[in-house]
Amino acid sequence: MAADSSLSEKELLEIERANESGRTPVVFVHGLWLLSSSWDRWRTVFEDAGFATLAPIWPDDPDTVEVARRDPAVFANKMVSQVTDHFLDALGHLDTKPVVIGHSFGGLIAQGIAGTGEAAVTVAIAPAPFRGVLPLPLSSLKAALPVLGNPANAGRAVSLTYEQYKYGWVNVLEDEEGRALFEEFHVAAAGIPIFEAATANINPFSQVTVDTHNPDRGPLLLISGQKDHTIPWAIAQAAFKLQQANPNLTEIVEMPNRGHSLTIDHGWREVADLALDFVLTHG
């Protein structure tokens, strides 16, 4: 691995495999309280459709939920710009400009990458807000309260209780499925990105920004869950309105009766197929 690269050996091997395949790469970006393995089923769908897929970790993330739960403190202090730079490092090793797909804070990072011109096509699912996205619905504040409720959490890794996860993630699901997702996927998350997003519009030095005007951005699809408490429609719609300033195609779709878990719950395939259709049509 190059001395100036933040990429792990595993990530570099995935990049090498993608380059050798000659296929268009698809880079998946996960958000808070998830690991990159949360994209495994999506990767199969896109690989079967003829793409080469990568799901880089956030810097120093563990590979498995089991390991993550043994040492939750490893997630602390990972800022949005640091994670974005890590993914841009990965993209810089690819021979072909990739498709980028992100969820939640991964959706914010995906838009940040698109704004640099490094993505061929971008899909942002329930994307966290960037500077200029003004709505702050009460449900979003309540979902973020486990982090924002204690300023010390800016320097910590924060785990959710199931009741907090139920409100922010699985509010539209039966408890049996909600608890199963919590057990399978939930890990601690850095508190600082939520503070960064919450203060982006009052901090003139905020790095939670997206260049929505870059003519090299490429086509962009935003996907929102109709009943998402964490990233409600108002936030996604505000991001869409800013992105419409771009000369490239910008679309938004609201998924009926879906919450923040829409990429991992029983309806994940419908969302994956929507993203795949957009990529195949506009890539």
Q: With CA atoms as reference, report the closest residue to 59 among 110, 7, 16, 20.
A: 7
* pLDDT of 250 strictly over 80: yes
User: How many percent of the chain have pLDDT more than 90?
Assistant: 97
How much is the pTM? Answer: 0.97
Closest CA to 107 of 252, 206, 249: 252
Give the pLDDT band (50/70/90) at residue 4: low
Residue 34 confidence (pLDDT) above 90: yes
Domains and CATH numbers, the chain: 9-282 (3.40.50.1820)
Q: Give the CA distances from residue 222 to residues 20, 143, 237, in Å, rounded to whole numbers and listed in that order.
A: 30, 21, 9
Alpha carbon distance 62, 55 (integer Å): 13
| Spatial CA neighbour of 225 closest among 131, 103, 142 | 103
Tens of pLDDT, residues 81-109: 999 999 999 999 999 999 999 999 999 99
What percentage of the chain exceeds 70 in pLDDT? Answer: 99
- The span from the CA of 139 to the CA of 75, in Å, is 25
Mean per-residue pLDDT of the chain: 96
Asked if 242 and 212 touch (Cβ cutoff 8 Å), the reply is: yes
